[in-house]
Amino acid sequence: MGTRGYRYKTSHSLPGPGDGGNTGSWRVERPVIDLARCTPARQGKEACFACWLYCPDVVVSRTIPPEIDYEYCKGCGICAEECPTKAITMVDESVYHEHGEG
Amino acid sequence: MHVIETGNVAAALGVRLAGAQVVAAYPITPQTPLTEKLSELIEAGEMDARYVPVESEHSALAVCIAASSAGARAFTATSANGLLYMHEQVHWAAGARLPIVMCVANRAVGAPWNIWNDHQDSISQRDTGWIQIYSCDHQQIIDDTLKAFRVAEATSIPVMVCYDGYLLSHTYMPFAVPEQEKVAEFLPPFQPAYALDPSSPANLNTVTLPEVRLDVHGELAHGYMEIRYLLQEDLRNAVQVVEETDAAYQEVFGRGGVPLVEPYRCDDAEYIVVGLGSLTYQLRDVVETLRAEGHRIGVLGVRLYRPVPDAAIAAALQGAHGVFVMEKALSYGYEGALCSDLKSALYDHLPDKSEAPFVKGLIAGIGGREIRTADLADALRSGLAGSIPDPNWIAIQL
């Protein structure tokens, strides 16, 4: 099975998950949310969502609590930088690979 | 209607007839009068198009890429170092499959600075994935320019129409201008394969990974390699599209018939000279002279250089005893690029290699060095006698 029948002859991507390929594999560090510090998680209602707002790849959900799609998260760290309560930590991916979870 | 005008004006009139909607260019000799003419026509309201003045050739083609991506018929023109400065975008336009048309008024490239004619500029773009057509006179320039839009849009591949700087760009010749009312029969309005639409945003030609991927619809989308293969496949098939386009043009306007190669007195020829552009018309005089001396010789102009019409070239040369390839450019470090392509075509298409003609390369007119008909005749006489001049650059004085 190949791509001959694909609708375009060029590279064409639409806004949405997956149209840049499986970019999660690019990640060196993984953003991990500490729910004890995360504002919407602590308050149990819609609030803050700075991580969702700033994520350039739209892989953080606007949910309670916010969730990160590691299939496509490139690990840029902007969410961790912007989080006002420092709830997001960038963790070296090797930690997960060593435990066979990567 | 017949007019007496320059080759640059012939190209400009072809672009107007085609109804180009966006023209972006930067002045460079000897192309400048072409886009000056277009800017005059647009300014005077005689052509319904947007002229975008830019600060460089790189930007000129970038504007055309954007315009074409938005579904507009786009045109640019350049020469020499302008074309080289554009080079990154030249590759891009082909990879993005945009049916842009560009005229190249052929000029030597620096260093050293030289504004005169040879073919090094466009030949050095042969691997970019564009279709390249070489026009030999003013009539072919206007006809080829108009045809180029149809070929480009039928294949989603950009087309370069190349013609000799000064020798054609600045000389005046009579030629027929196709009737505007008949153009619609030949060239329908541009129907882009895809056009950017603000109500349905998309990213075009972003980073494309080596491997195929599932897109947002869950369909298997191309990796880089598939996209590039399709360009190559469609370019190879474009030989036929160029032929079909020429046939359609001939039906409407009554001119054409030599879309791939243009033979002159080749039918019974033992020896054939092969070249590109106006040189091949000049060689007709030489052929007459040598025929009068008893040599059975003809000349074959290669009109379509990329994609290489290899089967047509091999068929035209089959049966000849010897072939001389006369070029105004070369792949430095080896030989003329056309010479290599031609040998390759013969090797692929002639079943019995022992019957293949010998192929000798000659270089002429580099940087506008005067190509005297007498010098061409002398070089060929020497070749017919079994030894081409050494060095094989005609009229070099070292």
Is B230 inside any structural domain? Answer: no
Is B234 inside any structural domain? Answer: no
Q: Nearest-CA distance from B86 to chain A in Å?
A: 21
**Mean pLDDT score, B367-390:** 96
- CA nearest to B229 within chain A: A9
Q: The domain spanning residue B37 has which CATH number? A: 3.40.50.970
Task: State residue A23's pLDDT score.
Answer: 86
Is B217 inside any structural domain? Answer: no
- CA nearest to A16 within chain B: B216
Residues of A within 8 A of B227 (CB-CB) are 9-11
Mean pLDDT score of chain A, rounded to an integer? 91
Among B119, B151, B186, identify where a domain stops.
B186
H or E element: which one contains A100?
Answer: none
Is B207 inside any structural domain? Answer: no
The pTM is what? 0.91
- Is residue B150 located within the same domain as residue B19? yes
Residues of A within 8 A of B201 (CB-CB) are 14-15
Best to test chain A binding among B68, B156, B213 (most A CBs inside 10 Å): B213
Asked whether the beta carbons of B98 and B65 are under 8 A apart, the reply is yes
Is B235 inside any structural domain? Answer: no
* pLDDT per position as a tens digit, B58-108: 999 999 999 999 999 999 999 999 999 999 999 999 999 999 999 999 999
**Mean pLDDT score, B350-355:** 85
Q: Nearest-CA distance from A85 to chain B in Å?
A: 33
Would an 8 Å CB–CB cutoff place B195 in contact with chain A? no
**Mean pLDDT score, B306-324:** 97
Residues of A within 8 A of B209 (CB-CB) are 20-21
Mean pLDDT score of chain B, rounded to an integer? 97
Q: Which of B207, B208, B230 sits opposite A9 (nearest CB)?
A: B230
Sequence-distant (≥ 6) Cβ neighbours of residue B386 within 8 angstroms: none
Taking CB atoms and an 8 Å limit, are B204 and A12 in contact across chains? yes
- CA nearest to A19 within chain B: B215
Is B301 inside any structural domain? Answer: yes
- Tell me the pLDDT band of A52, cut-offs 50, 70 and 90: very high
Q: Is the pLDDT of residue A102 over 70?
A: no
Is B9 inside any structural domain? Answer: yes
Q: Write out the residue range of the structural domain in which residue B338 sits.
A: 261-393
**Mean pLDDT score, B195-211:** 91
Task: State residue A13's pLDDT score.
Answer: 87
* pLDDT per position as a tens digit, B6-22: 999 999 999 999 999 99
Q: Nearest-CA distance from A22 to chain B in Å?
A: 8
**Mean pLDDT score, B267-279:** 98
Task: State residue B6's pLDDT score.
Answer: 98
Contact map slice: A 22-61 vs B, CB within 8 A: 22
Task: State residue A53's pLDDT score.
Answer: 97
Would an 8 Å CB–CB cutoff place A71 in contact with chain B? no
- Is residue B181 located within the same domain as residue B265? no
- Is residue B180 located within the same domain as residue B34? yes
Task: State residue A98's pLDDT score.
Answer: 67
Give how many domains chain B has, as a whole number: 2
- Is residue B180 located within the same domain as residue B266? no
* pLDDT per position as a tens digit, B164-199: 999 999 999 999 999 999 999 999 999 998 999 999
Would an 8 Å CB–CB cutoff place A18 in contact with chain B? yes
Would an 8 Å CB–CB cutoff place A12 in contact with chain B? yes
Among B165, B186, B207, identify where a domain stops.
B186
Task: State residue A99's pLDDT score.
Answer: 59
Is B243 inside any structural domain? Answer: no
- Tell me the pLDDT band of A9, cut-offs 50, 70 and 90: very high
